[in-house]
């Protein structure tokens, strides 16, 4: 949360539990709005893959923006880096648009 609040990065941080969005924090200059709390994860997100198959991602992956956010164009993409805790059935995803500078 401190990275979003105090950093100079146009990012959003999304916490998910049991394949649903639980909490999110976004930099005020992050141009997209995250889907509502309680929403089921889109199958195009890395976080969904973690819950579905237990896959762990070692680097950021490019995903369709509309998998995470509302009102995205079909050609909008975001980078997603997801950390997964199998023990807590919990993911923490950092998302950003490549090249955005705050």
Average pLDDT over residues 5-32: 87
pLDDT of residue 44: 97
pLDDT of residue 23: 95
CATH architecture entry for 2-96: 2-Layer Sandwich (3.30)
Global pTM reads 0.89
Give the Cβ contact number of residue 100 at 10 Å: 15
83 to each of 46, 73, 74, 79, 91, how far by Cα in Å? 9, 26, 26, 13, 6
Domain ranges of the chain: 2-96
pLDDT greater than 80 at residue 5: no
CA-CA distance, 86 to 102, in Å (whole number)? Answer: 33
pLDDT tens, position by position, 64-100:
999 999 999 989 999 999 999 999 999 999 999 887 7
């Amino acid at each position: 949360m401190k990275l979003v609040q105090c950093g100079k990065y146009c990012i959003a941080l999304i916490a998910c539990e049991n394949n649903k969005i639980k909490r999110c924090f976004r930099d005020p200059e992050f141009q997209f709005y995250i889907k509502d709390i309680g929403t089921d994860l889109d199958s195009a997100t890395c976080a969904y893959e973690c819950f579905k198959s237990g896959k762990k991602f070692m680097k950021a992956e490019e995903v369709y923006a509309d998998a995470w956010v509302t009102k995205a164009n079909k050609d909008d993409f975001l980078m997603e880096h997801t950390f997964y805790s199998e023990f807590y059935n919990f993911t923490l995803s950092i998302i950003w648009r490549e090249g955005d500078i705050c």
